[in-house]
Amino acid sequence: MINDCYYDKYDRKEKLHFDSKVVHGGLGCDPITGAVSFPVFQTATFRHRSFDISTGYNYSRLQNPTREELERTMAILEEGLEGFAYSSGQAASMSVFGLLEKGDHVILSDDIYGGTYRICADIFSKLDCEFTYLDMSDLENLEKAIRPSTKLLFVETPTNPMMKVADISAIAKIAKKHHVLLVVDNTFLTPYFQRPLTLGADIVLHSGTKYLCGHNDVIAGIVVVSTQELADHFRLQMKSRGNGLAPWDSWLLLRGLKTLSLRMERHDSNAKKVAAWLKTHPKVKKLNYAGVGGMISFEVDSLETVKHVLSDVQMILFAESLGGAETLITYPLTQTHESTPPAVREALGINERFLRISIGIEDAGDIIADLKQALG
């Protein structure tokens, strides 16, 4: 019953603009009762009416209607074939790397989320998989690094925390030429600003914890794929690993998504103002901003200044994570990038004077005033 209604709605919603799609999701409302807020199907298992009559639902590890609504919504927003919602961004990444077989090779952005590095270094290297870290803006170098055993290209753009931008379309062409899958971690820009599958990527990955949720209250991960073969892999992985997102958390993400466009617009306009202001501050020595989105990183003049800023911010919160309504300031050296090897950190410029800010949706003047008093 739910599925029949879904196809009807899906066809019509395809024609909507992005800002309407985020509000109306997959089915949008409950097809049985018409409830405008999609219900939380808080159930572990599903009753079968008789020997040969079933709703198609069996057990929530395999499928749950609330999680499915989130998965459909994300597939629509990323313009992919199927979506998958996981218990964390890390769980989503683990399923992506689950595509690897013994001896496979992966090329990744040199400047990536520390947890992604940890998955490669601590888990998949034990399967004799090999990893090469590259600056993905150097396409010639990237093509040279591809080996017969290369299975995946893993791109984060803009990168975390240096905000380097890669050309997804150009990388996708190289990936296709060499029959390698292209994965893009789209956590920082979200489909509001960037839809990697439309640029030729095969898999999009998100920490749903960040902008998709947007309220710093859920840990979640999303994968959206472009082919049935990949969809089958991820469905089997979820069934076996048991890492699907719980119904209530799926609902919170659906709720957060309704305001994605509004929030991203404000994150972006606030960040542009804060970046312009930081650029002129005498204690700010280097500023990284991709020119779009809400993430800024910068280097200050001394460790003393770092200590002042992290202790003295008032409205801004000194906390790990990003993408929520609240402005957060992070110290990558001991927080997000603790797992990155010191030599790599040093080469990238993640030193003791380096800070990262996730610009929230507060008043931009208040964010600047708080940074002003904390920087001194």
Ligand X SMILES: *Cc1c(COP(=O)(O)O)cnc(C)c1O
Q: Which residue's beta carbon is nearest to the bound ligand X?
A: 89
Would you count residue 68 as binding ligand X (CB under 6 A)? Answer: no
| 109 beta partners | 134
Would you count residue 187 as binding ligand X (CB under 6 A)? Answer: yes
CB atoms closer than 10 angstroms to residue 146: 18
> Which residue is associated with the tokens 């990536």?
112
Tokens representing 365 are 């003047």
Would you count residue 327 as binding ligand X (CB under 6 A)? Answer: no
Which lies closer to ligand X via its Cβ, residue 199 or residue 219?
219
Please tell me whether residue 110 adopts helix, strand or coil conformation.
coil
Of the residues 61, 118, 235, 241, only one is catalytic, namely 61
Q: Which of 369, 357, 365 is nearest to 331 (CA)?
A: 357
Residue type, 122: D
Tokens representing 202 are 């095969």
Cβ-Cβ contacts under 8 Å for 125 (sequence gap 6 or more) = 131
Would you count residue 256 as binding ligand X (CB under 6 A)? Answer: no
Q: Listing from the earlier edge strand, what are the strands of the sheet with 203-207?
A: 82-86, 221-225, 203-207, 181-185, 150-156, 105-109, 130-134
Q: Of all helices (H) and strands (E), which one includes residue 132?
A: strand 130-134
Give the shortest CB-218-to-ligand X separation in angstroms: 9
Can you tell me the distance from the alpha carbon of 232 to that of 44, in angstroms, rounded to the nearest whole number? 23
**DSSP per-residue letters across 236-251:** HHHHHHT-BPPHHHHH
| 184 beta partners | 155, 204
Would you count residue 209 as binding ligand X (CB under 6 A)? Answer: yes
Would you count residue 337 as binding ligand X (CB under 6 A)? Answer: no
Of the residues 210, 272, 353, 356, only one is catalytic, namely 210
Of the residues 113, 117, 211, 289, only one is catalytic, namely 113
The residue within the footprint of ligand X, chosen from 95, 207, 237, 297 (CB under 6 A), is 207
Give the shortest CB-221-to-ligand X separation in angstroms: 5
Would you count residue 288 as binding ligand X (CB under 6 A)? Answer: no
> Which residue is associated with the tokens 């090999």?
130
Can you tell me the distance from the alpha carbon of 326 to that of 253, in angstroms, rounded to the nearest whole number? 17
Would you count residue 358 as binding ligand X (CB under 6 A)? Answer: no
CB atoms closer than 10 angstroms to residue 122: 10
185 belongs to the catalytic site: yes
Would you count residue 185 as binding ligand X (CB under 6 A)? Answer: yes
Which lies closer to ligand X via its Cβ, residue 151 or residue 210?
210
Which lies closer to ligand X via its Cβ, residue 160 or residue 226?
160
Of 259-278, binders to ligand X (CB under 6 A) are: none
| 287 beta partners | 298
Can you tell me the distance from the alpha carbon of 166 to that of 200, in angstroms, rounded to the nearest whole number? 13
Which lies closer to ligand X via its Cβ, residue 2 or residue 219?
219
Give the shortest CB-82-to-ligand X separation in angstroms: 20
Would you count residue 297 as binding ligand X (CB under 6 A)? Answer: no
Of the residues 104, 110, 111, 185, only one is catalytic, namely 185
Give the interface size with ligand X as a residue count (CB under 6 A).
14
61 belongs to the catalytic site: yes
Would you count residue 114 as binding ligand X (CB under 6 A)? Answer: no
Of 214-243, binders to ligand X (CB under 6 A) are: 219, 221
Can you tell me the distance from the alpha carbon of 219 to that of 207, in angstroms, rounded to the nearest whole number? 8
Per this entry, what is the length of the chain? 376
- Is the CB of residue 270 less than 8 Å from the CB of residue 360? yes
Can you tell me the distance from the alpha carbon of 302 to that of 318, in angstroms, rounded to the nearest whole number? 18
Give the shortest CB-220-to-ligand X separation in angstroms: 6
Contact map string, positions 81 to 110, toward ligand X, x by CB under 6 A: -------xxx--------------------
Would you count residue 113 as binding ligand X (CB under 6 A)? Answer: yes
Which lies closer to ligand X via its Cβ, residue 104 or residue 249?
249
Of 154-173, binders to ligand X (CB under 6 A) are: 156, 160
Which lies closer to ligand X via its Cβ, residue 190 or residue 305?
190
Task: Provide the binding-site residues for ligand X, judged by CB under 6 A.
Answer: 88-90, 113, 115, 156, 160, 185, 187, 207, 209-210, 219, 221
Catalytic residues: 61, 113, 185, 210
